[in-house]
Amino acid sequence: MTKMDELALNGGLKSKTSPYHKPNRYGDLERRYLMEAIDDGCLMFSGGKKVGQFEEAAAEKFGCKHVILTTSGTVAIQVALMACGVEEGDEVITTAIADAGTFFGILALHAIPVFAELHPETMGPDPAHVESLITSRTKAVLAVHMAGIVGDLDAFIAVGEKHGVSIIEDCSQAHGGKWKGQYVGSIGRAGVFSMNESKHMSTGDGGFVTTNDDAVARIARLYIDKTYARGEVRRGDEALLFAANNFRPNTMTAAVALAQLERLDENVARRDEIVQRYYRELGDLPHLAMPKAPDGAECAWWPLPVLYQSESPPREEIVAALVAEGLPVNTGLSPNQGNLHTKVIKAKRFYPYSDRLPHFLKDTKYDEWSCPTSDGIRRSVIRLPVDFRYTDQDIAETIAGIRKVWSHYFGSN
């Protein structure tokens, strides 16, 4: 065996010989729009121009009537739910595994998160399991397009129509994805996007709500702005329509968002090239299942979650071997171990200083192990690196490293 064939884990040469290409994703365009925001002389959304400009451009891009910029994706979920009429004690079906924002936005309204199994091919909530969880208290479903894989929106919309519940698309990991030619976020009653640093469009932190529903848009706008009816009433005459909050974005966030929107197509196209290569050049490896998007989906790939399907060697050993080769793979479909396994859910821990149970959760029972399929996925996921800045050489070395590890353990090459 040559030094090249030997695993780096065992002292061989690494497959990834140079750092991944990751230049600053922000540049002249962001600088220009930021300067314009500053030159406007008002950074508040209602005085500067940039928030309106972004919302208009994003609405045109995604083919929806309204875009409401917010301060994060988690907040966008909370706002969309409030605007779709979710109230205390209502149930909202979300996904067993994804960022905590996919249930914190629900809890913030004192609504009850209900967790649906992931589908092993799309990694998003399984529409059939979602339907089985619907009760007379269900008000909304958060259809999460996981890891850029666009879920079966026909199935979600059919469930929504049949049971009279709002379908809210969580597009946080799938900016620019399409379902049957239409952008995600323009199909459900509302869509939500996160623009934290890991996302296709990033403003560091930020988010937005999309909708074609005028009433939803109106409530969303009021909710993020303490229900101030700007321009409609005189100062001193605000009626304050319902209990709201301040989730207002500022114009600097909007300026960067506007620039990132212009970069989106290129970003998504490059991610697609990378992932298509993974499919072509890794698709034959044994014990490795690539995700399968439903017919009609045009994915906007994120790091690619593949399923490792062997007990021996354990996944942890495979991952350690890949990392030793210099590959930035990891095993988390979300930062936590799955929403049902968090203390917040399984112990219904709501407050920081006491374990007092809030009234709205008193009758809710969670079984930590009620989503076994999702737990199986969680235990077998390996996330392959996808970044629009990576060069062809980065991807070639990544693929070579994966094939080398597979060859060592399974004899293929």
The distance of closest approach from Cβ of residue 56 to ligand PLP in the complex, given in angstroms and rounded to an integer, is 22
Size of the site for ligand PLP (CB under 6 A): 15
The distance of closest approach from Cβ of residue 127 to ligand PLP in the complex, given in angstroms and rounded to an integer, is 17
Which of 313/332 has CB closer to ligand PLP?
Answer: 332
Residue 194 near ligand PLP by CB under 6 A: yes
Chain positions 75 to 104 lying near ligand PLP, rule: CB under 6 A, are: 98-99, 101-102
Q: Which stretch binds ligand PLP (CB under 6 A): 10-18, 66-74, 289-297, 308-316?
A: 66-74
Pick one of 113, 127, 148, 207: the residue that binds ligand PLP (CB under 6 A).
Answer: 207
The distance of closest approach from Cβ of residue 7 to ligand PLP in the complex, given in angstroms and rounded to an integer, is 33
Pick one of 170, 387, 394, 397: the residue that binds ligand PLP (CB under 6 A).
Answer: 170
Which of 143/395 has CB closer to ligand PLP?
Answer: 143
288, 308 Cβ separation under 8 angstroms: yes
The distance of closest approach from Cβ of residue 391 to ligand PLP in the complex, given in angstroms and rounded to an integer, is 26
The distance of closest approach from Cβ of residue 411 to ligand PLP in the complex, given in angstroms and rounded to an integer, is 37
The distance of closest approach from Cβ of residue 71 to ligand PLP in the complex, given in angstroms and rounded to an integer, is 8
Residue whose CB is nearest to ligand PLP in the complex, by number: 73
The distance of closest approach from Cβ of residue 188 to ligand PLP in the complex, given in angstroms and rounded to an integer, is 14
Residue 172 near ligand PLP by CB under 6 A: yes
Pick one of 80, 116, 144, 297: the residue that binds ligand PLP (CB under 6 A).
Answer: 144
Residue 72 near ligand PLP by CB under 6 A: yes
Residue 339 near ligand PLP by CB under 6 A: no
143, 174 Cβ separation under 8 angstroms: no
Residues lying near ligand PLP in the complex (CB under 6 A): 72-74, 98-99, 101-102, 144, 170, 172-173, 194, 196, 205, 207
